[in-house]
């Protein structure tokens, strides 16, 4: 019986010689098909490409470039949740449901509470003379930086506020806390504040340092919340009027941010200073 020959040792050491590749076996790294000398694995992937990193094109064809990052995973659930909550609140207000009755008890208890001068100042944050100039400054800065499409999206979103809020006010025909006049659902001041400050935050966020990216959305949220609190404490609106405006305008800002994200991936922005 023949024995398998052992690898011979070198004369000056005890290490075995490297085994020679045998014919007929696939090598781990071979030259590319184009003959450029680029090493490839036996499955055709470059050695530095991690598994699962390749993307296929239409019809599953490999070799296409990776796709542009899509919408965030939370976008659709957030949109659906806001739409469902707004629909529920509107139904309760129109049908005089239990939520409306609870809202009127709570709102009647809160109306006139606290220093009314402060409540008035907070409510004025949602007025057009205060909120629109903030958005206008952000629009001008975005245009100067080359983000014209983003500025157009923010302006159109702001224009949609009265187009959506005014018909809802007429349809729901809800009276205010301290008056018999109708047309208080949803809150127009809250909608103006949320879209104006939120749109400004979306426009300015790309030019903010990454570590401070939370500052703009947080500031917009604080200003919008302060507006709603002032409206309720001064007796201008019921709490559900404010909450419904937040849901409606949240939908608008989600759509606006999606459009801005897509436009920024296609349009180069103007850079200032050293890169």
Residue 138 in this model has a pLDDT that exceeds 50: yes
Q: With CA atoms as reference, report the closest residue to 176 among 111, 116, 128, 131.
A: 111
What is the percent of the chain with per-residue pLDDT over 70, rounded to a whole number? 69
Residue 58 in this model has a pLDDT that exceeds 70: no
Identify the DSSP state of 208.
Answer: S
What is the mean pLDDT of the segment spanning 161-180? 95
What is the mean pLDDT of the segment spanning 229-241? 97
What is the mean pLDDT of the segment spanning 86-108? 96
What was the pLDDT predicted at 3? 52
Residue 16 in this model has a pLDDT that exceeds 60: no
What was the pLDDT predicted at 75? 84
pLDDT tens, position by position, 190-207: 999 999 999 999 999 999
What was the pLDDT predicted at 76? 87
Identify the DSSP state of 273.
Answer: S
Residue 227: CB partners within 8 Å, gap ≥ 6?
Answer: 122, 123, 125, 126, 189, 190, 193
What was the pLDDT predicted at 43? 54
User: Lowest-pLDDT range, 26-40, 138-152, 171-185?
Assistant: 26-40
Say how far apart CA 275 and CA 172 lie, in whole Å.
53
What was the pLDDT predicted at 73? 75
What was the pLDDT predicted at 47? 54
Q: Which of the four pLDDT bands, split at 50, 70 and 90, describes residue 17?
A: low
User: Lowest-pLDDT range, 47-51, 126-130, 149-153?
Assistant: 47-51
Enter the pTM of the model.
Answer: 0.71
E strand or H helix at 258 = helix 239-266
User: Lowest-pLDDT range, 17-21, 122-126, 260-264?
Assistant: 17-21
Residue 271 in this model has a pLDDT that exceeds 70: no
E strand or H helix at 154 = helix 148-172
């Amino acid at each position: 019986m023949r024995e398998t020959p052992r690898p011979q040792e070198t004369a000056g050491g005890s290490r075995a010689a490297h085994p020679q590749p045998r014919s007929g076996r696939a090598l781990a790294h071979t030259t590319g098909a184009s003959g450029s000398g680029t090493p490839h694995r036996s499955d055709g992937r470059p050695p530095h490409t991690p598994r699962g990193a390749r993307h296929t094109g239409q019809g599953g064809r490999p070799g296409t470039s990776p796709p542009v990052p899509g919408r965030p995973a939370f976008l659709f659930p957030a949109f659906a949740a806001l739409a469902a909550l707004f629909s529920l609140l509107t139904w309760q207000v129109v049908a005089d449901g239990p939520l409306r009755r609870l809202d009127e008890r709570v709102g009647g208890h809160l109306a006139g509470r606290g220093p009314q001068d402060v409540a008035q100042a907070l409510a004025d944050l949602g007025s057009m003379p205060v909120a629109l100039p903030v958005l206008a400054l952000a629009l001008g800065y975005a245009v100067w930086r080359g983000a014209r499409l983003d500025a157009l999206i923010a302006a159109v979103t702001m224009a949609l506020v009265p187009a959506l809020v005014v018909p809802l006010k007429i349809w729901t025909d809800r009276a205010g806390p301290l008056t018999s006049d109708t047309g208080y659902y949803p809150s127009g001041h809250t909608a103006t504040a949320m879209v104006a400050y939120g749109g400004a935050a979306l426009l300015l966020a790309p030019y903010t340092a990454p570590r401070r990216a939370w500052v703009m959305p947080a500031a917009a949220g604080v200003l919008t919340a302060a507006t709603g609190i002032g409206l309720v404490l001064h007796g201008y609106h019921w709490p559900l009027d404010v909450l419904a405006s937040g849901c409606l305008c949240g939908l608008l800002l989600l759509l606006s941010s999606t459009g801005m994200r897509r436009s920024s991936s296609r349009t180069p922005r103007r850079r200032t200073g050293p890169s």
